[in-house]
Amino acid sequence: MTRSRYDTFTQAIHWFTFIAVVGLFASGLIMEEMARGPAKSQLIGLHISFGVVIMALTAARLGWRLVTPQPDPIPGEPMVQLMAKAMHGTLYALLIAVPFLAMMMVWAKGRTVGVFGLFSVPPMIAPDRDLAEFLGDVHETAVYVLAALAGIHAVAAIVHHVVLKDGAIARMLPFGEPRQS
Ligand code: HEM
Ligand code: HEM
């Protein structure tokens, strides 16, 4: 049987991730401008919680991907298909690596990683101020790389859908007609 769209679980995770990454990026920039205080601590707490949720959902998505049939690739040049695969693989790697390295940054500061006040993950490494600072720089650079790649990925999807008219975005939605051409 040929499949032309992703399953509902994958679609839900994809769009939740998109919204969460936009929210995390914005909250990160806002956090930086805020003066120390309870409001900033609360926002950092939410930022950390949603970041950990993204990591967990990406891991779930990758596990699910291994055991469920995937839609056939969008017809096109093998080189373009390879580039799309490489982009998706890089985005998945970043959606795991960025939150994990950020967790290490929090641990290196000697703090636990709390998730919505429901549970917290105690430090798995010893406090280390230099390492925390280094991982802070890594976090800053990595989130800009993630944002840039996600932006290119989104533009590619829109070009497919609107210019090439192959219904690409409908593959990630429960409605619309994939493969319109
Ligand atoms: C995809 C997920 C994430 C995105 C897009 C994101 C984005 C950002 C951005 C744009 C900033 C401001 C720039 C900077 O100074 O680094 C920031 C700061 C920060 N993020 Fe994230 N973040 C993510 C996940 C996480 C996670 C999982 C944690 C912790 C477990 C975390 C902890 C922090 C902290 C503590 C800061 C302040 C850094 C500092 O002290 O300078 N972030 N984030
Ligand atoms: C933070 C933003 C985003 C991230 C991290 C992201 C990540 C991903 C990943 C990892 C895949 C591969 C799915 C798989 O094959 O397992 C994917 C597919 C897809 N994404 Fe995104 N995405 C983002 C935003 C967007 C936006 C804004 C759009 C639309 C404008 C979009 C449209 C699509 C489409 C249509 C597919 C399916 C491509 C295909 O059928 O080959 N994505 N996305």
DSSP sequence for 107-157: HHTT--EEETTTEEE--SS---HHHHHHHHHHHHHHHHHHHHHHHHHHHHH
Report the pLDDT value the prediction gives residue 179, as an integer from 0 to 100.
75
* CB 16 near ligand 2, within 6 Å: no
Nearest ligand to the CA atom of 65: 2
Report the pLDDT value the prediction gives residue 180, as an integer from 0 to 100.
57
* CB 150 near ligand 1, within 6 Å: no
**Segments making up each domain of the chain, as ranges:** 8-172
Report the pLDDT value the prediction gives residue 170, as an integer from 0 to 100.
96
Nearest atom in ligand 1 to 146's CA:
5
Quote the ligand 2 centre to 152 CA distance (angstroms): 10
Report the pLDDT value the prediction gives residue 93, as an integer from 0 to 100.
98
Report the pLDDT value the prediction gives residue 2, as an integer from 0 to 100.
64
Strand partners, 121: 113
d(CA 164, CA 75): 11
Q: What is the pLDDT along the chain (181 residues), one digit of tens a residue?
A: 467 899 999 999 999 999 999 999 999 999 999 999 999 999 999 999 999 999 999 999 999 999 999 999 998 899 999 999 999 999 999 999 999 999 999 999 999 999 999 999 999 999 999 999 999 999 999 999 999 999 999 999 999 999 999 999 999 999 998 875 5
| Phi, psi (deg, nearest 5) at residue 97 | -65, -40
Report the pLDDT value the prediction gives residue 86, as an integer from 0 to 100.
98
Quote the ligand 1 centre to 120 CA distance (angstroms): 17
* CB 21 near ligand 2, within 6 Å: yes
Q: Which tokens go with 144?
A: 């800009």
Report the pLDDT value the prediction gives residue 75, as an integer from 0 to 100.
87
CA distances for 74 relative to 70, 87, 118, 162, angstroms = 12, 14, 41, 14
Quote the ligand 2 centre to 172 CA distance (angstroms): 7
| Phi, psi (deg, nearest 5) at residue 138 | -60, -45
Asked if residue 18 lies in contact with residue 57, where contact means CB atoms within 8 angstroms, the answer is: no
**The CATH number of domain 8-172 is 3.40.1340:** no
Report the pLDDT value the prediction gives residue 121, as an integer from 0 to 100.
95
Residue nearest to atom 11 of ligand 1 (CA): 28
Say if residue 105 is exposed, middle or buried (CB neighbours under 10 Å; 0-12, 13-18, 19+): buried
- pTM of the complete model: 0.95
Report the pLDDT value the prediction gives residue 54, as an integer from 0 to 100.
98
